[in-house]
Amino acid sequence: MISIETHNLTVSYNRRPVLWNIDFELPTGKIIGIIGPNGSGKTTLLKAIMGLVPTSSGYVKIFDQDLNDVRSRVSYVPQRESVDWDFPASVMDIVLMGRYKKNNLFKRISKADRDIAAEALEKVNMLEFSKRQISQLSGGQQQRVFIARSLAQGADLYIMDEPFIGVDAATEEAILKLLSDMKKDGKTVVVVHHDLQTAKDFFDWIVLLNTRMVAAGPIEEIFNETLLQEAYGGKLNVLSQVGDLMKEKAFDVRES
Partner 1 sequence: MILGASAAIVGCFSFLRKRALVGDAIAHSILPGVCLAFMVSGSKNPLYLIIGAFITGWLSLLLIDAITRTTKLKSDTAIGIILSVFFGVGILLLTSIQHSGNASQAGLDKFLFGKAASLTKDDVYIFGTIALILIAVVILFYKEFKLISFNPDYAKVIGLPVQFLEFMLATITVLAVAVGIQAVGVVLMAALLITPASGARFWTDKLSVMILIATAFGAISGFLGSYISYIAPSMPTGPWIVMCLSMLTIGSIWFAPRTGMLAKFRVQKENQRKILIENVLKLFYHLGEKDGTFKKQRSTSVLLASRDLRIKELNRGLHLLKKEHWLRKKGDNWLITQSGLNEAKRIIKLHRLWEMYLNQRLKLEPDHVHNDAEAIEHIITPELEKQLEKELNYPTKDPHESVIPYAE
Partner 2 sequence: MEAFWIILVGSLIAVSCALLGSYLILRKMAMVGDAISHAVLPGIVIAYLLSGSRETLPMLIGAAILGVLTTVLIELFSKKANLQMDASIGITFTWLFAIGIILISLFAGQVDLDQDCVLYGEIAYVPLDLWITDSGYNLGPRTVWIASGLLLLLLLFIWKGYKGLFITTFNEEFAKALGIGVAFWHYALMGAVSLTTVVSFESVGAILVVAFLIVPPATAYLITNELKKMLFLSSIFGIISAIGGYYLAVLINGSIAGAIASIAGLLFLIVWVITLIRKRQPI
Is 83 a residue that touches partner 2 (CB under 8 A)? yes
Cα separation, 127 vs 205, in Å, equals 31
Is 34 a residue that touches partner 2 (CB under 8 A)? no
State the virtual CA torsion across 89, 91, 95, 100 in degrees, nearest 10.
-20
By a kind-dependent CB cut-off of 5 to 8 A, residue 71 interacts, out of partner 1, partner 2, none, with partner 2
CB 184 within 8 A of CB 159: no
By a kind-dependent CB cut-off of 5 to 8 A, residue 251 interacts, out of partner 2, partner 1, none, with partner 1
Backbone CA torsion sign across 104, 151, 203, 199: positive
Q: How far is the CB of 132 from partner 2 (least distance, A)?
A: 9
**Residue 64 Ramachandran class (φ > 0 left, ψ -120 to 50 alpha, else beta):** left
DSSP-derived 3-state class of residue 105? coil
Is 125 a residue that touches partner 2 (CB under 8 A)? no
CB 141 within 8 A of CB 126: yes
State the virtual CA torsion across 242, 247, 248, 250 in degrees, nearest 10.
110
Q: How far is the CB of 143 from partner 1 (least distance, A)?
A: 20
Is 241 a residue that touches partner 2 (CB under 8 A)? no
With a CB cutoff of 8 Å and minimum separation 6, the contacts of 65 are: none
Is 104 a residue that touches partner 1 (CB under 8 A)? no
Q: Looking at 75-83, 170-178, 193-201, 210-218, which segment touches partner 2 (CB under 8 A)?
A: 75-83
Q: Looking at 97-105, 170-178, 218-226, 235-243, which segment touches partner 2 (CB under 8 A)?
A: 97-105
Residues that bind partner 2 (CB under 8 A): 47, 50-52, 68, 71, 74-76, 78, 82-84, 87-90, 93-94, 97, 100-102, 105-106, 109, 133, 135-136, 149
Residues that bind partner 1 (CB under 8 A): 7-8, 10, 20-21, 23, 57, 86, 135, 212-213, 215, 236-239, 241-242, 245-246, 249-256
